[in-house]
Amino acid sequence: MSQCPYHDPFKDAREKSAVLPTQFDGDPVPMILGLKDVRKAARDFKTFSSNAPFRIPIPAEQDVRSVRQFPLEVDPPDHTDYRKIVEPFFKRPTQPEYITRVENLVGELLTDACQRDSIEIVREFAIPLQSRALTYLLNMPESEADVWIQWGTHVFRDQSGVSKGAEMEAYCNQLLDAAAANPGDDFFSALIQAEFQGRRLTRDEMLGFANITFAGGRDTIINTVAVVIAYIAEHPEALDALRENPKMVLTATEELIRFTTPLTHIGRVCPVDTDVHGETVKAGNLVSLCWASANFDESIFDAPEEVKLDRKPNPHIAFGNGAHNCLGAPHARLLVRTLLRKLCELTSSTQLIEATPKVEKEADYERQNAYESLTVQISGP
Amino acid sequence: MPRITFITSDGTATVVENADGTVMEIATENSIAGIEGACGGVCSCATCHIHVQPEWIDRVGPPDETERDMLEFEEATHPGSRLSCQIELTPDLDGLTVEVAPLQ
């Protein structure tokens, strides 16, 4: 992405067909490519089910976690009841005092960045930002972030090659034990006290909620923050435009999230043999809902590979679509909006020093929407 | 400046005088229950779904294709269904009344 226009790896495939037949984990998986088709499939949980533990993220995660993720890996109507348990936490980012805390956090991190000769954005800015902000979402002491920061960009698949999945599960178990002994008003206490269809949650269900809460909103936010900073470094005029028209922060946020589409795709299982745009998917096999292709669908988005900060309408599906729409979307949006506003307020320039892109290499595509490292120099006003 | 009335799902009517902006912006600025406007108004999230009252449908006009595609999958749709972020409250819509679509 750095120093060149973004390359949409699904463009050619989308011109040829509605699906890209490929393979993950040794099995055939057709990727659904067009925005309308992806949105339709995301809504059709009977044909494209989420009722498949470990297999909804692609590649599958049975090697990096021991619990099914809730509510991600469940279909409606049970999904609806599971989701309601945690929804109040994920709606906290609309509260004024929450917004103020995030503004203060981003302000503190940017002020610190301005005082350094240079800063490596992924490790020294994005990971602390994501981890500390997550304590606000989960209503936990901010000091807990010190533990989470050590987990790296991706809990399961960090560049070190060592999964922190087991460590995270053990940590969550400890927090659940502590909450059971002395419940408060944090996320883990809520899980301990929650009722699902007239019964308490099992420990595995609680761990499943905690698992996706830590894993799902982690690399996605970290990578988006890095892409935003890289974009600003390469397009200093963008901040001038936002300063001139502060309302454009809203459209710019959606556009940068569309452009990044931090999660390339997600899986669904076909319960019976299914014809998916000409590809036969055997019962029990996967399809992919390819958000990254859908968000560059030229039949929907004019010049999709360009960032247009005032793009409107912008019906992107970077947060998914339908019943499983990303629970963390309000939090993610608040972080990006606040980042843009604070960059306008507290910085005068961002110079790119070093960028090492992170490439997602799969059998039939390579996609770059993140950085292994991104070093910049940020100057104050 | 136009006036707009929001009717929320519990039947409460809220009148906003001298309103400016899109119907979603006016709703969120006035904390109308059931209108989130999560995406900030780019027709991406469908959390600002309203029903335009029948006598206003012609004057407000129909949704465009992007908005229609979004509404296609929404529940509680109605002949007057619109995403309120896509309706600019112009002076000729003075007196508009909209109902907030029931939350799912």
A36 has a chain B CB within 8 A of its CB:
yes
Mutation target among B22, B39, B70 for the A interface, most CBs of A within 10 A = B39
A300 has a chain B CB within 8 A of its CB:
yes
* Residue range A290-306: mean pLDDT, rounded: 97
Of B36, B39, B73, the CB nearest to A43: B73
Of A40, A254, A322, the CB nearest to B44: A254
How much of chain A exceeds pLDDT 90, in percent? 92
- Consecutive H or E run containing B27: helix B23-29
Of A315, A321, A333, the CB nearest to B38: A333
**Total tally of structural domains belonging to chain B:** 1
Question: Is B70 in contact with A315 (Cβ distance < 8 A)?
Answer: yes
Question: Is A315 in contact with B38 (Cβ distance < 8 A)?
Answer: no
Pick the range with the lowest mean pLDDT from A126-140, A155-169, B44-58: A155-169
- Domain carrying residue B45: 4-100
Q: How confident is the model at residue A314, as a pLDDT?
A: 98
Q: Does A118 score more than 70 pLDDT?
A: yes
Spatial distance between the Cα atoms of A42 and A232, rounded to a whole number of angstroms:
33
Q: How confident is the model at residue A1, as a pLDDT?
A: 43
DSSP A318-341: TT--GGG--TTHHHHHHHHHHHHH
- Consecutive H or E run containing A84: helix A78-90
- Report whether A304 contacts A8 (CB < 8 A): yes
pLDDT (tens digit per residue) in B48-73: 999 999 999 999 999 999 999 999 98
Spatial distance between the Cα atoms of A154 and A361, rounded to a whole number of angstroms:
16
Of B36, B39, B69, the CB nearest to A36: B69
Sequence ranges of the domains in chain A: 11-160+215-379
- Rounded to two decimals, the ipTM of the complex is 0.94
Residue appearing with tokens 């490439």 = A359
pLDDT tier, B75 (very low <50, low <70, confident <90, very high otherwise): confident
pLDDT (tens digit per residue) in A49-75: 999 999 999 999 999 999 999 999 999
Kindly list the residues from chain B whose CB atom is less than 8 angstroms away from the CB atom of residue A312.
Answer: 41-43
Q: How large is the C-alpha radius of gyration of chain B?
A: 12
> Strand pairing partners for A271?
none
Residue appearing with tokens 């659904």 = A32
pLDDT tier, A4 (very low <50, low <70, confident <90, very high otherwise): very low
Alpha-carbon torsion (A137, A141, A144, A145), positive or negative:
positive
pTM over 0.90: yes
Q: Comparing A209 with A160, which gets the higher pLDDT?
A: A209
CATH, residue B78: 3.10.20.30
A85 has a chain B CB within 8 A of its CB:
no
Quote the mean pLDDT of chain A: 95
* Residue range A171-178: mean pLDDT, rounded: 97
* Residue range A171-177: mean pLDDT, rounded: 97
CATH number listed for the domain at residues A11-160+215-379: 1.10.630.10
| Gap between the terminal Cα atoms of chain A | 27
pLDDT tier, A6 (very low <50, low <70, confident <90, very high otherwise): low
The CA–CA distances, whole Å, from A220 to A37, A292, B2, B32 equal 23, 13, 42, 31
User: B60-77 in b/e burial notation, b at 16+ Cβ within 10 A?
Assistant: beebeebbebbbeeeeee
Question: Is B43 in contact with A94 (Cβ distance < 8 A)?
Answer: no
Interface of B with A (CB under 8 A): 36, 38-45, 64, 66-67, 69-70, 73, 86
A250 has a chain B CB within 8 A of its CB:
yes
Q: How confident is the model at residue A159, as a pLDDT?
A: 66
* Residue B96 in tokens: 């508009």
The residue in chain B having the minimum alpha-carbon distance to the alpha carbon of residue A254 is: B39
